[in-house]
Amino acid sequence: MDLPVDEWKYYLLQKWSLLPKSIQLTISTAETLSDIFLHSSSLLQPEDEVFLKRLSRGYLVEKDPNAPLFYRKEGNKKFQKKDYTGAAVLYSKGVSHSRPNTEDISLCYANRSAALFHLGQYETCLEDIERAQMHGYPERLKPKMMLRKAECLVTLGRLQEAKQTISDLERNFTAKPTLEAPSCQILQRNLHHLKMKVQEKKTVPETFPGAVTKAFEDIDIREENKRISSASSSVGLCTDPVKGRYLVATKDILPGELLVKEDAFVIVLNPGEMPPLHHGLESKWDTRVTNGDLNCHRCLKHTLATVPCNGCSYAKYCSKECLQQAWELYHSSECAVGGLLLTLGVFCHVALRLTLLARFENIGKVIKKLCDEISNKDISLPESKNLVKTLGDSHGESEETGKIVEIPIPGCNINGKYENNYNAVFNLLPHTENHSPEHKFLCAISVSALCRQLEAASLLAFTPGLKSSKLKAAVATELCADLNIWGVAMLRHMLQLQCNAQAITTIQQTGSKESIITTSRQIRLATGIFPVVSLLNHSCRPNTSVSFTNTVATIRAAQQIGRGQEILHCYGPHESRMDVAERQQKLRSQYFFDCSCPACHTEKPKTAAGPSWEAFCCNGCGALMQGDAVLSCGSGSCTGSVSRDQLVCRLQHLQQQVGMAWKLLRNGKLEQAIQQLLGCRQDARSFLSAEHMMVGEIEDDLAQAYAALGDWQKSASHLQKSLQVVEARHGPSSVEMGHELFKLAQVLFNGFAVPEALNTIQKAEKVLLVHCGPQSSEIQELQEMRSCLLDLPPTPVGPLVYCPTGREPWQMK
């Protein structure tokens, strides 16, 4: 996904292996990015480009005039089964393949509006109705769609508009009776009912204007940093010859305090599973749902009503505004090479987009460095300077005069401010010397092939799109629209991304409409570049927590941070997920450093038993088993022994049994699932530690099964046992613990265990406020639950059912 597809990687690795040793040595020992790019790109042959084009053609990114009818028919099948979400996605696929101002696109929009209406998305339904009309929706079909429009307006309380729509519809019936008699009678009967509803209903005033509501949603940093954009005043920038740039606390910071709230400089949506056409799909038109079908390709907003690019079927947006902005900034260049970008991977796509956005900034000095490097001038990149102290005190002593002079920090502007801009991105370290020669060759050839395709389509130019004519002139005189400059810039960015790309994650719900329960899991939605977030160094035991809202990254203090203490972020290898040896290996291979954080410094080597969440236990006394290939009881009171391979086989068999139980659970066979899981739990107790991950998974599955049956007491009992496993692995203040406490609060609430629910709500809030902030959906729901419980009468009648967001625990249906 990040790097090119396997076929291209293997092709280039084979090409590398066949190169003369002298050429391999020249590329391997090249000291500058320009030398690497120029030497590698000179080896790109026409037959290589032909092979790459063949791979690219496997991705269906162009509009196919035959696809809209196929997707409309498939969407209709989903609609008839009342799977309105699935129908909406398929209609969207049909929209993406349709040309503007055609009957195809108008029909797809109209059908999607019907699905959205049944999903209760009335505002979006109205937008689709307007789109269908704009693209020439057939007159013969309009009455039914206009009735839907009137129903939406009535539901939204927009009665004046509803009356006008009804009036227009009645006149249309009188003037042009286009429908057959039975259909017309049904429509007129529905229209009559709707008119009665309008008379009964009063106009609902809007409580908050959209702008005011948005202001409540977007809680920003209270006091922004004057020297670091998107950061609070509690954060300072420091530099060190060994550690490079890093962030520190300029005052004492409390847990939960907002430290950084940064919008990505660039994002590229991760395509998800998009197999090329030759990978055995039943039809060349894929009906599966991917990230690209559900999220705006510019702002990442989740939507079922995407607006497609007019030139390709791949790029989709949440609105016409996002479409236009994306086109002006980068998609006008990317549109013609969509299949090639999917073939070359996300990193290559991000690198291109970064370089395209460079056109919109005054980057003459940055490009001059590239020009100088290509001209073989001896230049020092900013990262190589010895830098000192903090941004507010970046000074050094001049050798000639002995006076104190300011030393610039890489990425800062002339006023010493570090901003979210191309200059900051350019100054992120590419770690050229640490990448393998094969990897640099792969990246350089891929970038060169992309540049040639863009150049052939006349899409490479630094100046197009610049709004200021003065800026155009200034940049045009300083920049040459040269293939090599683009290539070197993109190669630099592609190498930067291994250490500086940020995975933007979200929670994805899984499960069909017919399922008893759907589950949620964290997925990687997009890849982004955040210049300020990139300043954070790694710790396997970080003192911050990161969360994402669309393209915005939010960094909060996860614990108290003292003044002068470094602010640290986890790059992935966390002490609760991996032992020290595994963490060190991953950090060394991907980020090129040996971690010396407190967790790595104090953690003891992995014991023979392993961590409790992976350990086996003695069947006789329950003590942890010790040993390598052969395990024996750690207590010494038992004399028996067993091979590790035998226990691993038992664990694998148990995992299969739990998987079978989960399928029963998903298919609504709850009693069978419970019996299967109880048997699994009994088996697990005989050889797994009480805090083993599999024990926690079994307890969580049992909790879900009993919740689906409405047995909230048993559900809570099993969930509390699952919580013990989560706490043992991740700690009592971890975000994982917060999510589990949130589930327990929902179960206790629905089971009407008022004191226990209030207590759990308080615990969950305390944890989640630190990691997610007051605006998170879970915090909002916890607060609603508390208010509901506190407002209850002393002696309630009947069971309490709570589902403010349209879901119960585990998103049960």
Spatial neighbors of 383 by CB under 8 A, at least 6 apart, are 244, 410, 427, 429
In DSSP terms, which residues pair with 317 in a beta bridge?
307
For residue 450, what pLDDT is reported?
95
The average confidence (pLDDT) of the chain is: 82
- Least confident segment among 456-465, 583-592, 804-813: 804-813
Residue 280 has what pLDDT? 45
| CATH assignment of the domain containing 128 | 1.25.40.10
Instruction: Give yes or no for residue 521 having a pLDDT over 90.
Output: no
- Say whether pLDDT at 586 is over 90: yes
Residue 399: pLDDT band with limits 50, 70, 90: very low
- Residue 273 inside a domain? The answer is no
pLDDT of res. 622: 79
674-698 in b/e form (b: 16+ CB < 10 A) is bebbeebbebbbebbbbbbbbbbbb
More confident residue, 755 or 198: 755
Strand partners, 555: 260, 546
- Asked if residue 347 lies in contact with residue 324, where contact means CB atoms within 8 angstroms, the answer is no
Of 484-493, 505-514, 586-595, the poorest mean pLDDT is in 505-514
The helices-and-strands tally (H runs, E runs) of the chain is 31, 17
Comparing 720 with 376, which gets the higher pLDDT?
720
pLDDT for the residue numbered 169: 82
- Asked, for residue 535, whether it belongs to a domain, the answer is no
Q: Is residue 576 part of a domain?
A: no
Q: Which of 151, 182, 199 is the last residue of a domain?
A: 199
pLDDT at position 574:
87
DSSP assignment string, 687-704: TB-TT-HHHHHHHHHHHH
pLDDT tens, position by position, 44-82: 999 999 999 999 998 889 999 999 999 999 999 999 999
Q: Residues of the chain with pLDDT > 90: what percent?
A: 54
Asked whether residue 251 is assigned to any structural domain, the reply reads no
Report pLDDT digits (tens) over 673-699.
999 999 999 999 999 988 899 999 999
pLDDT on residue 243: 85
Answer yes or no: is 758 within a domain.
yes
- From residue 342, give the alpha-carbon distance in Å to each of 8, 48, 94, 269, 464: 12, 17, 21, 11, 24
Q: Pick from 550, 539, 537: which is nearest to 505 by CA?
A: 550
Distance between CA atoms of 775 and 271, rounded to whole angstroms?
28
Q: Position 248: which residue type?
A: V
pLDDT band at 278 (very low <50, low <70, confident <90, very high): very low
Read off the pLDDT of residues 230-258 as tens digits, 9 standing for 90 and up.
Answer: 999 999 999 888 888 999 999 999 998 99
Q: How is 602-618 classified by DSSP, letter by letter?
A: HPPPPPSS--GGG-BB-
Burial 775-788 (b: 16+ CB within 10 A, else e): ebebbebbeebbee
Residue 658 lies in a domain: yes
- The two beta strands, 266-269 and 307-308, are unpaired
Q: Is 147's pLDDT higher than 50?
A: yes
Alpha carbons 606 and 579: distance in angstroms, whole number: 7
Asked if residue 713 has pLDDT above 50, the reply is: yes
Burial 125-134 (b: 16+ CB within 10 A, else e): bbbbbebbbe
Per-residue pLDDT reduced to its tens digit, 150-159: 999 999 989 8
Do 542 and 259 contact (CB within 8 A), yes or no?
no
pLDDT of residue 208 exceeding 80: no
Cα gap 789→793, rounded to integer Å = 9
Q: How many domains does the chain fold into?
A: 2
Lowest mean pLDDT among 53-67, 487-501, 515-529, 743-757: 515-529
CB neighbour list of residue 91: distance below 8 Å, 6 or more residues apart = 71, 72, 75, 108, 109, 111, 112, 115
Q: Which range marks the domain in which residue 157 is found? A: 66-199
Phi, psi (5° rounding) for residue 305? -120, 70
- Identify the H or E element spanning 505: strand 502-510
CA nearest 258: which of 566, 536, 546, 506? Answer: 546
Q: How confident is the model at residue 641 (pLDDT cuts 50, 70, 90)?
A: confident
Looking at per-residue confidence, does 122 or 371 come out higher? 122
Comparing 28-37, 331-340, 795-804, the range with the smallest average pLDDT is 795-804
Over residues 307-334, the pLDDT tens digits come to 999 999 999 999 999 999 999 999 999 9
Q: Say what the pLDDT of residue 794 is.
A: 60
pLDDT of residue 386: 30
**CA quadruple 93, 96, 99, 100: dihedral, nearest 10:** 110
Q: What is the DSSP letter of 261?
A: E
The answer to whether residue 228 sits within a structural domain is no
- How many other C-beta atoms lie within 10 A of the C-beta of residue 754? 15
Report, as an integer, the average pLDDT of 123-128.
96
Domain termination site, one of 199, 220, 255: 199
Q: What is the rounded CA–CA span in Å between residue 335 and residue 81?
A: 36
**Spatial separation of the C-alpha atoms in residues 501 and 505, rounded to whole Å:** 13
In a domain, 367, yes or no: no
| Comparison of pLDDT for 460 and 397, the residue scoring more | 460
The C-alpha R_g of the chain, in whole angstroms, comes to 30
pLDDT at site 801: 41
pLDDT digits (tens, 9 = 90+) for 378-394: 333 333 333 333 343 44
Give the helix ranges, DSSP H, for 731-795.
735-750, 754-772, 777-790
Angular region, 340: left φ>0, alpha ψ -120 to 50, beta rest: alpha
Query: What is the distance in angstroms between the CA of the first residue and the CA of the last residue of the chain?
Result: 33
Instruction: Tell me: pLDDT of 472 over 70.
Output: no
Residue partners of 332: CB distance under 8 A and separation at least 6 = 459, 465
In this structure, of 515-524, 612-621, 712-721, the range with the lowest mean pLDDT score is 515-524
What pLDDT is attached to residue 605?
57
DSSP-derived letter for residue 567 is P
User: What's the whole-number mean pLDDT along residues 480-509?
Assistant: 85
Q: Which of 199, 225, 248 is the endpoint of a domain?
A: 199
Percent of the chain with pLDDT over 70: 79
CA distance 112 to 90: 9
State the average pLDDT over residues 760-770: 91
**Left, alpha or beta for 173 (phi > 0: left; psi -120 to 50: alpha)?**
alpha
C-alpha angle 201-205-206 in degrees, rounded to nearest 5: 135
CA geometry: angle 313, 317, 321, nearest 5 deg: 125
Q: Is 795 left (phi over 0), alpha (psi -120 to 50) or beta?
A: beta
- Which of 16-20, 169-173, 785-789 has the least mean pLDDT? 169-173
Mean pLDDT score, 553-582: 91
Report residue 222's pLDDT band, with 50, 70 and 90 as the boundaries.
low
The residues pairing with 235 across neighbouring beta strands, listed in sequence order, are 249
Q: How confident is the model at residue 718 (pLDDT cuts 50, 70, 90)?
A: very high
Residue 101 to residue 791: CA distance in whole angstroms: 54
Which residues, at least 6 apart from 267, have a Cβ–Cβ distance to it below 8 Å? 300, 504, 526, 527, 528, 529, 551
Whole-model pTM above 0.95?
Answer: no
Query: What is the per-residue pLDDT across 178-194, written as a single tens digit (0 to 9) for each?
Result: 555 556 666 667 776 77
| The pLDDT of residue 813 | 32
Q: How many residues does the chain have?
A: 813
Chain-centre distance for alpha carbon 175: 52
Summarize the confidence of residues 7-13 as an average pLDDT: 96
Write out the DSSP string of 49-106.
HHHHHHHHTTS--S--TTHHHHHHHHHHHHHHTT-HHHHHHHHHHHHHHSPTTSHHHH
Query: 414 by DSSP, 3-state: which?
Result: coil
Cα separation, 696 vs 720, in Å, equals 10
**Read out DSSP for 425-448?**
HHTS---GGGS-HHHHHHHHHHHH
Ranges 102-106, 108-112, 266-270, 605-609: which has the least confidence: 605-609
